[in-house]
Amino acid sequence: MLHAGLDKIWAWPFDASWFVGGAAQGTILAPFVTPFSDGILLAFVNVAVPLGQTAIGLGLILGVLTRTAAFFGAFMMLFFYFINGYGGGWANGMVTGELLGIMVFGTIVALGAGGVLAVDNRLREMELFENTRLRKLLG
Summarised one tens digit per residue, pLDDT across range 31-63 is 777 777 777 777 888 888 888 888 888 888 888
Average pLDDT over residues 4-14: 81
- Residue 128: the pLDDT is 67
Average pLDDT over residues 115-129: 71
- Residue 70: the pLDDT is 84
- Residue 134: the pLDDT is 66
- Report the C-alpha gap between 20 and 6 in whole angstroms: 20
Do 57 and 1 meet the contact criterion of CB atoms below 8 Å apart?
yes
- Cβ neighbours for 110, distance < 8 A, ≥ 6 positions apart: none
- Report the C-alpha gap between 22 and 110 in whole angstroms: 34
Average pLDDT over residues 26-34: 72
- Report the C-alpha gap between 114 and 126 in whole angstroms: 16
| Sign of the dihedral defined by the CA atoms of residues 120, 125, 130, 132, in that order | positive
List pLDDT tens digits, range 74-100: 888 887 887 776 666 666 677 878 888
pLDDT exceeds 80 at position 106? yes
Residue bearing the bigger pLDDT, 44 or 30: 44
Nearest to residue 76, comparing CAs of 47, 54, 103, 53?
A: 53
Largest CA-CA distance found in the chain, in angstroms, rounded:
52
- Residue 82: the pLDDT is 77
